[in-house]
Chain A
Amino acid sequence: MKKINIAFIGNPNTGKTTLINTLSNSKFKIGNWPGVTVAKKEAFVEYKENIFHLVDLPGLYNLSKISDDEKITTEYIEEHEPDLYVNIIDSTNLRTNLLLTIQLLKEGVPVLLVFNFWNDLNGLGKQIDLGKLEKVLGVECISLEANQTEYREKLLEKINCSLKNKKRSTKVSSSLPARAIVDIIVDKVEKKVPTDKVSVTDKIDQVVLNDYVSVPIFFIVFFLLFKITFDGSAPLIDWIDQFINGFVAKLIVTIFTSFSVPKVIGSLVIDGFLVGVGTVLSFVPLMMFLYFFISFLEESGYIARVAFIMDKFMRPLGLQGKAFIPLLIGLGCNVPAIYSTRTLEKKNDRKVTAAVTSFVSCGAKLPIYILFSYIFFPKQAVFVTLSLYLLGMLVAISWAWILNRFIYKDASAQFVIELPTYRWPSMIVMIKSAFAQVKGFVKRAGTVITVVVVMIWALSNLPYGVSPRDSILGVTSRSVSPIFIPLGWGNSWQATASVIPGFLAKEAVVGSLATAYETNLTESTNEALTDGFIPNVLKQCVLLYEAVIDSIKAVFGGLVPGVFITDYSEDKKLSQLIKQDMTPLMAYSYMVFNLLLISCVAVISAIRQEFGQKFLWFVILMTVSTAYVFSFIVYQGGLILGFI
């Protein structure tokens, strides 16, 4: 089989990655905003006698090298000679897209033009004569919808034909500037039928981008996101929790008792592994809901609008709205957010944005908030969590202002963002995106977090037989905890002990906390399984069914203002133990500390990789000191105001 190199190139947000996913069944990240792809990605497809090596290049408007992601594409063109360039064009925006096409054709490379979003043309009253365009440019064209698999075969065949013909345009060697050529061609091939109809996108934007209601809408959207996420996932979280503690733990005890397994091994498996990893895994439904709705916002085209809305507020602070996109991506995970700063033209803008991204609360921190919010603020859990997210954003923006003003004194570049057409997100894409993120969460639970919680268990059991308070972990944490006493939660050595593993992965905080608190205290779960195995499995199936029904009810109930369905079990052992040690104010201070602390080792790696060791130390110092200071202000300020 012959390997054929095919490069996918086009303006940002034209559907290049979507098309590659459709052709190769890959699961590359996609989104309805400019700048999703910031690094070269590759996929392979077997077709007839060939293997197509598909290269997804970051989007760009022309072949100049400005931002880092654009450099990747222009340098690829300079250094590689692919067998074919597939130039994806947004049919609804021909004039802008053709500029890159003309520049490509002037380079004399073989090109196939793919017109995406073809069905949207009718709604805009536009028509493009592809036959005429083929003649004018001297290259082949095809129209399709990138997300629909029915076009897969047609496109692969067209690529095959283009490879055989190896057509290089000889008609665009004019000495005219590319922009002038574009204007001439568009006038020839595009017809606009006069229509009084306002497009759906324009109608929605009249409301969503309205000067007075855009910000309230932004807050309502994010409030609903958290409310549905919390209410919908709560019954399933409860089910997983009781499944692990009420079924799996008892099953293990039954097996261990039958085989007379030593007590220390039983403690390791149940108190260490099962409690720690089980607690983390119980938040899988929460992650699923969160990433599903973030994907909904990304796919619909709303994220690009948020950048546009925020530009108004961020411009006076010396930041451009485009910098808000990495911050929004950071709501899912800070690592891709740091890479997405490549779309910013100026190095200093990149540094400032990457530095403050760590203050944006990633999905991995959410289990900490949900655990503490439902223990200490059961009726206001959504508001408490939302307040933490807002605090993170405010701190990020404030630090951005400080850095811009005093350290990286470099005015921001002009903000140009193309607002994409609103599209109803594909359910499959949203589910795939959520599954990919949850898979990463579960993978970390199975690797890093398992090791961390087993370490915490080992440290809290050494020397064996003493109380956890007098163990190595207890003694060490208690000797360090005076540092955290001004923050309120320093009296809980378990809380202190869980902060360090948080540097490895934020999910480990909840796991470590559960292991540290519950070690040697799990007598109630150390019961053998009664009623036999099969009846218990059936009972779990019934409970799961009920949890799913409750979750569906909660999602729709959550849409009714003022209705709070979630009732997280306050009788959980971990909840009771934490409640004995902390007050609501201490808990909030603890959440603020974790919110503002750098997320994990992967973020540390990403910053080091993109900006170097010196800048990494600066970011670590900045986040640790900010976390400490804000946690201190929250606790001490709260005490002064009379909170407990």
Chain B
Amino acid sequence: MLENILILSILIICVFVIFKKLSSHESYCGSCPIKEKCKTKPFVCHDEGENRS
């Protein structure tokens, strides 16, 4: 029983981490060079290549 709770907790953490990652700039902005500095939400690219935020 204890093992099941532990494994389930690990699973929930993993799912949470994956969703967090999928909704992050890293996922949305691909290789955009300024994604680290980008603070806007929802993630909108102002144009293609330049001034992305």
- The interface of chain A, by Cβ under 8 A from chain B, is 38-42, 58, 68-69, 71-72, 75-76, 262, 264, 268, 335-336, 338-339, 342, 447-448, 451-452, 454-455, 458-459, 461-465, 504, 601-602, 605-606, 608-610
Contact = CB atoms under 8 A, between A and B. Distances in A.
A462 B49 contact: no
Contact of B27 (A455, A462, A464, A602): A602
Contacts of B27: 601-602, 605
Contacts, number: 84
B29 interface: yes
A451 B18 contact: yes
Contacts of B3: 262, 264, 464-465
Given A264-B3, A335-B30, A451 B17 contact: yes
B49 A609 contact: no
B11 to A, nearest CB: 4
Contact of A609 (B8, B28, B50): B28
A-B pairs, top 3 by smallest CB distance, nearest first, are A464-B3, A458-B11, A606-B30
Interface residues of B, number: 24
A459 B11 contact: yes
A72 B33 CA distance: 14
The interface centre, meaning the residue of A76, A602, A609 with most chain B CB atoms within 10 A of its CB, is A609
Nearest to B14: A455
B50 A39 contact: yes
B38 interface: no
Nearest to A604: B27
Contacts of B14: 451-452, 454-455, 458
Contacts of A455: 11, 14-15, 18
A417 B10 CA distance: 53
The interface centre, meaning the residue of A72, A335, A451, A452 with most chain B CB atoms within 10 A of its CB, is A451
A464 B48 contact: no
B11 A462 contact: yes
Contacts of A606: 30-31
B8 A462 contact: yes
A449 to B, nearest CB: 11
A602 to B, nearest CB: 6
Contact of B49 (A264, A342, A605): A342
Contact of A458 (B10, B18, B29, B33): B10
The interface centre, meaning the residue of B6, B14, B30 with most chain A CB atoms within 10 A of its CB, is B30
20 contacts: A75-B50, A268-B7, A268-B10, A339-B30, A339-B31, A447-B21, A448-B21, A451-B14, A454-B10, A455-B15, A458-B7, A458-B8, A458-B14, A464-B4, A601-B22, A602-B30, A605-B29, A608-B28, A609-B28, A610-B48
A41 B7 contact: no
B53 to A, nearest CB: 13
A264 B21 CA distance: 27
Given A455-B15, A504-B18, A601-B22, A39 B29 contact: no
